[in-house]
Amino acid sequence: MHTHKHETQDSAPATEGSVIHWAWGYDWLVGALTLGRAGALRRQTVRLAQIQPGERILEVGCGTGDVALRARAAAGPAGAVVGIDPSPEMIARAQQKAARRRVGIDYRVGVIENLELPSASFDVVLSSLMMHHLPERLKREGLAEIRRVLKPGGRLLVVDFMPPTTRQGRLMRSLALHGGPRTGAQDLPALLRDSGFTRIEAGPIRSQVVSLPLGFVRGWVA
């Protein structure tokens, strides 16, 4: 399993996107915001990615590694998973989880806008609840990088916030996003098209999975 050097806050790469350094409280916050349904959301995320045994998967903004762990199980012994995050604290926690479970996942400190990975080397790229952390320019740069590292016929799955339709949804979204931003999953299909993704699908995450207003966007490269 890959171990990144210098896992301190000082080694966080420069990026205009938001970086969460309080990894110790992140899993608790996700559990609270999803009303204890974080596991259901992560299972749904991996199902939507349509992962097949033996596939190579990249998760951008992997956080503390829970989605990557489920993706690794879906890919099976012949598959492989790489997880990147700009927060050294998140990567350190993800590495600890994988080590405890004796699961081989290549976790690295890195940024979506500069993926230090070979072109056309992944079947699937995952992004879960992280695109809203990026300003518009970084979203476009990140999507161009994702398209570069995907193999022909490869796919991207993004799960992110949608505009809330209920008072509870507005409250939960405001808590999750600290009151901001207005953009979300509904804006991503156009960005994917601009970035050269061909077939694009989008829809809501079912409310019985999680109480937050979330949606998914799936795109393929030719």
* Residue recorded with tokens 């109480």: 211
pLDDT at residue 1, rounded to an integer:
40
What is the residue-level pLDDT of the chain in tens, covering all 222 positions?
433 333 334 466 777 666 666 555 566 566 656 666 677 888 899 999 999 999 999 999 999 999 999 999 999 999 999 999 999 999 999 999 999 999 999 999 999 999 999 999 999 999 998 898 888 999 999 999 999 999 999 999 999 988 755 555 555 545 554 444 456 788 899 999 999 999 999 998 876 556 678 899 999 999
Can you list the positions of beta strands (E) in 100-163?
A: 106-109, 122-128, 150-161
Report angle CA 135, 139, 142 to the nearest 5 degrees. 135
**Domains in the chain: ranges and CATH:** 9-220 (3.40.50.150)
Query: What's this model's pTM, rounded to 2 decimal places?
Result: 0.83
DSSP track, 3-35:
--S--SGGGPPP-SS-----HHHHHHHHHHHTT
Report angle CA 16, 18, 21 to the nearest 5 degrees. 125
For residue 60, give the nearest of 8, 10, 109 by alpha carbon. Answer: 109
For 80, other C-beta atoms within 10 Å of its C-beta total 18
Q: Which residues of 31-41 are buried (b: 16+ CB within 10 A; e: fewer)?
A: eebbeebbeeb
What is the torsion angle, in degrees rounded to the nearest 10, for the CA atoms of residue 117, residue 120, residue 124 and residue 128? 40
Helical ranges in the chain per DSSP H: 23-33, 38-48, 66-75, 88-101, 136-149, 167-177, 188-194
Distance CA 75, CA 97 (A): 18
For residue 139, give the nearest of 202, 181, 97 by alpha carbon. Answer: 181
